[in-house]
Amino acid sequence: MHVSVSGVCHFFLRSGQTSVRSSAARFVSSFPVTKSPSRLTNPLPVPRSRAAMEAPAEAAEEATHPGKRRHDEPEEQETSGRGKRRRGAGGKKLPPGERYVPPPQKRNPGVSFSQEHFDETSYYFEGGLRKVHPYYFDFKTYCKGRWVGKSLLEVFESEFRAESIEYYRKAAGEGRIRLNEAPVEDLSVVLRNNDHLRNTVHRHEPPVVGRPLEVLVDDGEVLVVDKPASIPVHPCGRFRHNTVIFILGKERGISELHTVHRLDRLTSGVLLFARTLETSKKLDQMVRDRLLEKEYVCRVEGEFPEGELVCEEPILVVSFKIGLCRVDPKGKESRTVFQRLSFNGRTSVVRCLPLTGRTHQIRVHLQYLGFPILNDPIYGSSAWGPHRGKGGLVGKTDEELLQALVEENRSQENPLLLDVDDCVRVSQEAELNRRADTSGGGSDNCERLQKAEDGDRVSPSRDGVDPPSAASNGGPAQDAAASRRDHLCSECKLVRADPTERELVMFLHALRYKGPDFEYSTRLPDWAKEDWVEADWS
């Protein structure tokens, strides 16, 4: 292992935002790197990044945990007299039969995950996989603008069809659905602006590879890990505990990390976190000045041309929610330098330098060139048509393409193959949001509140439910309780085959991350070695 230290990190920078200044011919002849101990100075200000809005309940869930509310206790209701009076409601009486909705309450931003969140459940290892015991969890959201005036029943029927209406009725009967912290007894209740919905579910997370996270550098300023494929960086979709952030917190007691860049779930390699906000600001300025360089290595289908090849096709985002992209003249300027390292008769190992930082840039450019990354479940998919997107030939609208990817994913025996699967309902919800916005549905205030709440971090609540008792992380009491079945949970009734390593690994690896006076790298993956053949990989 060759690691060079002295790096710094940037706060909540997405993978598609990193830029690089490098000459096209600047390729190192060997992978070991040298050590640069110098530190960065003169921290510069950086604007705070904006939390992305995610859908509630069955839709994808952003990284979640609690901040303190301005008012922690529910409003106290007075029922005497014809009208209803609420403490904190300005002394106003409500007409008979009208439901009071408390005002929205802000949360403190930037609070890190704590031991309370890590103790929600525990890991166990089986068949080379890291697994999570099922656990109870709350999804929270404020009423969306398009929901105003609709009953809870209508919302569940139209937008949360992962479960049947009978399930939601039973869940409400057991106190698992709460409106403004009060158990919902009747799903016919009509939603109003600022209503706060809480849905308690029995949560199952997909397994990931069981290889430990290897910490390459931890010097108080920066934390660098070698991320295995299949593990998301932060909570998203169906993943929470099986993420890099939670594994570091649960197994190493490391928290309050600032993300430098995000690697795709199926991508492996160098992953950086800042230990301090000051460090993250320094790196952000480097990104603005295009002083950072990333180097990847991948294995692609076919015989990649020898020599240096530069792709400068513009990249357009098809879906912001799931990050799906394609080459399009209306897209943003993009530039990637490729160089073939080896060819084994069927596949080629290629070194990649993304000189711009577009989402999925390497994957999209290689697809365009006709050499998709081996095992890429999205850009190597037949859903792109007979040419699989080569030369930008798709022959489908963006909506048709997304639907084709969804249908192909559903036809697979193992639904873990596509990141799209985690975000299908999010994409559908984004389209509903777009239509609601263009038709004027809902109030602007409600939509703003929704965005703020969805970016907040929430914690599990056990009100009205009989979930597993809390125990220390990994303790036998919790293991036994958390693994029990829930009588309402549809996932508990399914028997899923474990994914194979082949299904959890895409042949793309972040090999090196370099700045003016620091450099971090990992060793070359086995699949990137010249003598590797696919038949040898189980």
pLDDT tens-place string over residues 372-389 = 999 999 999 989 988 899
CB 75 within 8 A of CB 64: no
Mean pLDDT computed over 228-233: 95
Instruction: Give CB contacts under 8 A, 24+ apart, made by 464-471.
Output: 464/174, 464/175, 464/176, 464/178, 464/183, 464/200, 465/136, 465/174, 465/175, 465/176, 465/200, 467/135, 467/136, 467/200, 467/202, 468/121, 468/135, 468/136, 470/119, 471/119
The residue that leads in pLDDT, 216 or 1, is: 216
pLDDT at 136 over 70: yes
pLDDT, residue 107, reads 61
pLDDT at 322 over 90: no
Mean pLDDT computed over 13-31: 37
Q: Is residue 330 part of a domain?
A: yes
Q: What is the CATH number of the domain that holds 328?
A: 3.30.2350.10
Q: Picking from 74-83, 101-110, 170-179, 287-296, which range would have the lowest pLDDT averaged per residue?
A: 74-83
Mean pLDDT computed over 464-483: 40
pLDDT, residue 43, reads 35
pLDDT at 296 over 90: yes
pLDDT, residue 459, reads 33
Neighbouring residues of 191: CB distance < 8 A, sequence distance ≥ 6? 143, 147, 148, 149, 150, 151, 152, 155
The residue that leads in pLDDT, 487 or 74, is: 487
Mean pLDDT computed over 58-84: 39
Mean pLDDT computed over 287-306: 92
pLDDT at 350 over 70: yes
Helices (H) and strands (E) in the chain, counts: 11, 22
Number of domains forming the structure of the chain = 1
CB 146 within 8 A of CB 158: no
38 pLDDT band (50/70/90 cuts)?
very low
Rounded Cα gap, residues 46 and 437, in angstroms: 31
pLDDT at 434 over 90: no
Q: Picking from 253-262, 419-428, 502-511, 515-524, which range would have the lowest pLDDT averaged per residue?
A: 419-428
CB 287 within 8 A of CB 19: yes
Rounded Cα gap, residues 315 and 174, in angstroms: 49
The residue that leads in pLDDT, 472 or 264, is: 264
Q: Picking from 43-47, 170-174, 213-217, 293-297, which range would have the lowest pLDDT averaged per residue?
A: 43-47
pLDDT, residue 197, reads 95
Q: Is residue 335 part of a domain?
A: yes
pLDDT at 195 over 80: yes
pLDDT at 316 over 90: yes
pLDDT, residue 92, reads 66
Q: For residue range 138-189, what is the model confidence (pLDDT) as tens digits?
A: 999 999 999 999 999 999 999 887 789 999 999 999 999 999 999 998 999 9
Mean pLDDT computed over 431-447: 34
Domain that holds residue 337: 291-422+504-528
Q: Is residue 93 part of a domain?
A: no
Mean pLDDT computed over 433-441: 36
Question: Which residue do the tokens 């399009």 mark?
Answer: 328
Q: Is residue 171 part of a domain?
A: no
Q: Is residue 339 part of a domain?
A: yes
Mean pLDDT computed over 13-42: 37
Q: Is residue 358 part of a domain?
A: yes
pLDDT over 70, % of the chain: 67
Q: Is residue 323 part of a domain?
A: yes
Please name every residue paired with 299 in a beta bridge, in sequence order, or none if there are none: 349
Distances (CA, A) of 218 to 6, 221, 252: 10, 7, 12
Closest CA to 44 of 275, 273, 285: 285
Set 195, 226, 264, 486: catalytic member: 264
Average pLDDT over all residues of the chain: 75
pLDDT over 90, % of the chain: 48
Rounded Cα gap, residues 6 and 4, in angstroms: 7
21 pLDDT band (50/70/90 cuts)?
very low
pLDDT at 22 over 70: no
Q: Picking from 78-92, 187-201, 301-315, 435-449, which range would have the lowest pLDDT averaged per residue?
A: 435-449
412 pLDDT band (50/70/90 cuts)?
low
Q: Is residue 244 part of a domain?
A: no
35 pLDDT band (50/70/90 cuts)?
very low
pLDDT at 39 over 70: no
Burial of 27 (0-12, 13-18, 19+ CB in 10 A): middle
For residue 264, indicate whether it is catalytic: yes
Mean pLDDT computed over 505-532: 93
pLDDT at 465 over 80: no
